[in-house]
Amino acid sequence: MKLSKKSKKAGALVGTLSVAITILVIILPGMFQSSIAEPIYPDEHLFVDATYLLITEEKNDSVNVTCDIYLTNIWEKESGDIKAIAYVIEQTKNFAVYKKRVEIGIINANSTNEVEIPVVLSNSSYKVEILLFENDKIVTKGKISISARAKYSKLDLDRGLDQEWTVTSGSSDFENIRVTN
């Protein structure tokens, strides 16, 4: 059976259009996307359940305190990679005097991890602002108010007394950040 020139041209055109549509629909979009699919995490699946302060070392000019944060993943799957960044801000100056980064890692499904964030304080009132990241996206932020007061004066220290500190905790408040992809 012999095909006419018009039929051959129409067949060639349909074939070319099929290839072009395949390229546009299947191949090109894939070129602009990552070949590794990132998991999608539900909003508000990480929560700070409790915070505590623990004095770890007292020196004459400063006191080391660990901020213990209990971070819970309520999702049925493990979290992404979690890290925390804490800024110690002197309240009278509203200026950060210390920064600490803590790598937490993955939190298992339906479990709580203790996050220890060490900070150094001297004779003042502070707020410790904490940013929690999951896969490099901020998901939770909060603050803990802390006051550190030296018990002895410089004269007492010159007489050989070791400094003691009074550390008091004010309020703590954490909120989830809505993450948009």
**What are the pLDDT digits (tens) for 106-136?**
999 999 999 999 999 998 999 999 999 999 9
Mean pLDDT estimate for the chain: 81
Q: Fold for 46-176, please state it.
A: Immunoglobulin-like (2.60.40)
User: How do the domains of the chain map onto residue ranges?
Assistant: 1-37, 46-176
Whether the per-residue pLDDT at 46 is higher than 80: the answer is yes
Burial of 29 (0-12, 13-18, 19+ CB in 10 A): exposed
Please name the residue ranges forming H helices in 47-167. Answer: 154-158
pLDDT of residue 152: 79
List Cβ neighbours of 137 (8 Å cut-off, separation of 6 or more). Answer: 179
Q: What is the mean pLDDT of residues 20-24?
A: 55
Tokens of 56: 């770890």
Give the residue carrying structure tokens 């971070």.
71
pTM: 0.69
Contact 111, 91 (CB under 8 A): no
pLDDT of residue 157: 73
Whether the per-residue pLDDT at 20 is higher than 60: the answer is no
Whether the per-residue pLDDT at 93 is higher than 60: the answer is yes
Whether the per-residue pLDDT at 160 is higher than 70: the answer is yes
The residue with greater pLDDT, 22 or 73, is 73
Side chain identity, residue 113: N
pLDDT tens per residue, range 95-108: 999 999 999 999 99
List Cβ neighbours of 163 (8 Å cut-off, separation of 6 or more). Answer: 58, 59, 60, 61, 150, 151, 152, 157
Tokens of 104: 């937490």
The residue with greater pLDDT, 11 or 144, is 144
pLDDT of residue 35: 45
